């Protein structure tokens, strides 16, 4: 894997880790009532979606090894362009139910990283 591709995976890994840290110990009521937390979570999803979009443009096969990568990119687009209609319950659900798999897949891809000569 090329170093530039690993960089996008690393950015995803870091943003996903930050998300986990931000919501550790939180429940829905806390998330819903904390505007700064919601903004921080959405920012990390923007980073994940943009890094995945860049990765997909450079190596679609590698991006394809991440489940639902197109939906992740689409979610980033909704956060940016449809910000007025963002459903906080959906964001919270994604953090709780889909983020663990993304982290697992990205961690696995990075664990197999070997710089190309």
HSE-CB for 23 with a 13 A CA cutoff: 25
pLDDT value of position 114: 78
pLDDT value of position 117: 52
Closest CA to 48 of 78, 26, 23, 75: 75
Give how far the C-alpha of residue 96 lies from the chain's centroid of Cα atoms, to the nearest Å: 12
Closest CA to 45 of 84, 67, 8, 18: 18
Q: How far apart are the two ends of the chain, measured CA to CA in Å?
A: 10
Residue 116 has pLDDT above 70, yes or no: no
What is the model's pTM?
Answer: 0.93
How many other CB atoms are found less than 10 A from the CB of residue 59? 16
Contact 104, 13 (CB under 8 A): no
Distance, in Å, from the CA atom of 99 to the CA atom of 20, rounded to the nearest integer, reads: 8
Q: Which two tokens stand for residue 72?
A: 């992740």
Express each pLDDT in 52-90 by its tens digit: 999 999 999 999 999 999 999 999 999 999 878 889 999
pLDDT value of position 112: 87
Which range (32-41, 81-90, 98-107) has the least confidence? 81-90
More confident residue, 16 or 116: 16
């Amino acid at each position: 894997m090329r170093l530039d591709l690993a960089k996008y995976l690393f950015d995803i890994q870091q943003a996903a880790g930050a998300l986990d840290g931000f919501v550790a110990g939180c429940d829905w009521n806390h998330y819903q009532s904390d505007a700064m937390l919601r903004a921080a979570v959405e920012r990390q999803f923007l980073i994940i979606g943009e890094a995945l979009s860049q990765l997909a443009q450079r190596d679609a096969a590698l991006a394809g090894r991440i489940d639902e990568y197109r939906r992740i990119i689409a979610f980033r687009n909704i956060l940016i362009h449809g910000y007025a209609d963002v459903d906080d319950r959906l964001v919270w659900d994604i953090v709780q139910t889909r983020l663990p798999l993304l982290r697992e897949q990205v961690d696995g891809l990075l664990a197999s990283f070997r710089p190309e000569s």
